[in-house]
Amino acid sequence: MEETIEKNLIKEKAAILKGILLGDTKDIEEEVKEEFRISNISHILAISGMHISYLMIGLELLLKKAIGKKKTKIITIFILVQYILITGFSPSITRAVVMGIITIMGGLFHRKSDIWNSLAISLLGILMYNPYLICHVGLQLSYLGTIGILLFHPTILQILNKIPRKRESHLFEKVKELVAVSLSAQIMILPVLFYHFNCFGIYFLITNLLVSFIIGPLIILAFLSILIKPLFILVSISLDFLNFVTHFSQLPLSKIYIPTPNISGMIFYLLVVLLLNKIYFIYQSNKRTATYQRIKNLIALFRYRFRENKKRYLRYSVIMIIFVLVLSHFPKNLKIYFMDVGQGDCTFIVTPRNKTILIDGGGSLKDDFDVGRKTLIPYVFDRGYVAIDYLFISHFDQDHVGRLIECNRGITSKKHSDFKTRRKFKTI
């Protein structure tokens, strides 16, 4: 498959297609990966449930009429097992394949498969094989995204259905469904994205909508093109469209940097969104049970009290905001952090007035390990800061400033900067 792809596509497109079909991203340039990540479509480069779904749909369309429904299911299971062997047993594809096989086997034995049981069985199997995979970013995003779709999709779809429209439109229904899926997954994985990547793509809804229309046909066409070479023309056009979508990463506010959240904050966020989702479900439900009615009465009472005392609550809110703002301007303790950047030095200082100062950054341009992006930047994010006020360079030896040269150029030119700056760097 790799040889066929490389022979029929130019190097850049071949690397992306291998990432989409096989999860092999080693040939994709770092800048391209960054564009996919900022555009919030990097999930298409990691084999997941979306790929398995389209593979199953494609096999059913090709084989169902020719060999029958039952034989198609058996062949699909066999091909899914081969596919997971080819792509290397990553947690996201293992989850998708196990759940897919359970669903197919349920059809073979005339039993309806339960999505929650399938999810639990796949996770149990992965963690029995290697318990430490619970810390794998791909596993966390894959399972939380799936759970988010299961929990929030009906609620969001119900809210979107209330949007007034003049007439029914198939395109509108399709867009509405895609928006509901994207939002529901994003709600659940948001704290994990902040924790691991410290940034949020503001255009994720637009990019995911655009990709959703093309990724299904692209995956099916890509598999067919391995056997039917002329189809690579259509695959190449589809990859051009993907490349266009990644250009959203170059728009203003394409990404917002977020300090690393703490675990308690992440848990609090998840509890709040789950509680709000449940309250909305109960409030919209037609059930007449005593518990549901009590909760509806409490919600109605709260809304009544809020309308009656709206001005008072607004005054309290304004006073609270002013108090927090004043409190944040009180002088704090001076903080000095010394970072291990190898041979060189690097010091991060937070003044009592909350000004941030970085002295040197370590690293060498000749080293493969980028100490700036992989050590310095995550460390500053973990301290709760996304901006640097002043950068001091003691001297220009590579082990003191090797990686800051690129970073400083990027920030002053406003391209691919890893930090926002409140003012121009003062370099000494």
| Tens-digit pLDDT string for the chain (428 aa) | 888 999 999 988 999 988 888 888 888 888 888 888 888 887 787 777 777 888 888 888 888 888 888 889 889 999 998 888 888 878 888 888 888 898 888 888 888 888 899 999 999 989 998 999 999 888 898 899 899 999 999 999 888 888 777 677 777 788 888 888 889 988 999 999 889 888 888 888 888 888 888 888 888 888 888 888 888 999 999 999 988 888 887 888 777 888 889 899 999 999 999 999 988 888 888 877 888 888 888 888 888 888 888 888 888 889 998 988 888 778 888 999 998 887 778 899 999 988 899 988 877 656 667 787 788 888 898 888 888 889 888 877 777 776 665 454 333 333 334 444 444 444 33
Q: In angstroms, what CA-CA distances link 144 with 41, 125, 289? A: 17, 17, 31
Tokens encoding 360 = 């040197």
Do 105 and 224 fall within a single domain? yes
Do 91 and 220 fall within a single domain? yes
CA angle 202, 208, 211 (to 5 degrees): 140
Do 130 and 238 fall within a single domain? yes
Q: In angstroms, what CA-CA distances link 298 with 286, 314, 338? A: 16, 21, 53
| Full residue range of the structural domain in which residue 383 is found | 335-412
Tokens encoding 321 = 């905001």
Q: Is residue 298 part of a domain?
A: no
Domain's final residue, options 238, 258, 278: 258
Residue 67's beta-bridge partner residues?
Answer: none
pLDDT value of residue 327: 81
Phi, psi of 225 (to 5 degrees): -65, -20
Do 67 and 200 fall within a single domain? yes
Q: Is residue 310 part of a domain?
A: no
Q: Is residue 123 part of a domain?
A: yes
How far is Cα 107 from Cα 70, in angstroms, rounded to an integer? Answer: 9
> With b meaning 16 or more CB within 10 Å and e meaning fewer, what string describes 278-303?
eebebeeeeeeeeeeeebbeeeeeee
pLDDT value of residue 364: 64
Do 83 and 185 fall within a single domain? yes
Q: Is residue 372 part of a domain?
A: yes
Phi, psi of 420 (to 5 degrees): -80, 155
Per the structure, the count of domains in the chain is 2
CB atoms within 10 A of CB 129: 11
Radius of gyration of the chain (CA): 26
Q: Report the Cα 190 to chain-centroid distance in Å.
A: 7
pLDDT value of residue 409: 39
Q: Give the residue from 57, 283, 40 showing the smallest Cα distance to 185.
A: 40
How far is Cα 425 from Cα 428, in angstroms, rounded to an integer? Answer: 10
Whether residue 177 contacts residue 158, with contact meaning beta carbons closer than 8 Å, is answered with no
Do 248 and 101 fall within a single domain? yes
Q: What's the per-residue H, E or C state across the chain?
A: CHHHHHHHCCHHHHHHHHHHHHCCCCCCCHHHHHHHHHCCCHHHHCCCHHHHHHHHHHHHHHHHHHHCHHHHHHHHHHHHHHHHHHHCCCHHHHHHHHHHHHHHHHHHCCCCCCHHHHHHHHHHHHHHHCHHHHHCHHHHHHHHHHHHHHHHHHHHHHHHCCCCCCCCCHHHHHHHHHHHHHHHHHHHHHHHHHHHHCEEECCHHHHHHHHHHHHHHHHHHHHHHHHCHHHHHHHHHHHHHHHHHHHHHHCCCCEEECCCCCHHHHHHHHHHHHHHHHHHHHHHCCCCCHHHHHHHHHHHHHHHHHHHCHHHHHHHHHHHHHHHHHHHCCCCCCEEEECCCCCCCCEEEECCCCCEEEECCCCCCCCCCCHHHHHHHHHHHHCCCCECCEEECCCCCHHHHCCHHHHHHHHHCCCCCCCECCCCCCCC
Whether residue 40 contacts residue 204, with contact meaning beta carbons closer than 8 Å, is answered with yes
Do 359 and 254 fall within a single domain? no
Tokens encoding 244 = 């266009």
Specify the pairing of strand 335-338 against strand 199-201: unpaired
Q: Is residue 291 part of a domain?
A: no
Domain's final residue, options 258, 274, 295: 258
How far is Cα 89 from Cα 82, in angstroms, rounded to an integer? Answer: 11
Tokens encoding 391 = 């950068």
Give this prediction's pTM.
0.81
Q: Is residue 420 part of a domain?
A: no
pLDDT value of residue 411: 38
Q: Is residue 295 part of a domain?
A: no
Tokens encoding 93 = 């594809």
pLDDT value of residue 392: 87
Residue with tokens 């850049």, as numbered in its chain:
12
Q: Is residue 284 part of a domain?
A: no
Do 226 and 341 fall within a single domain? no
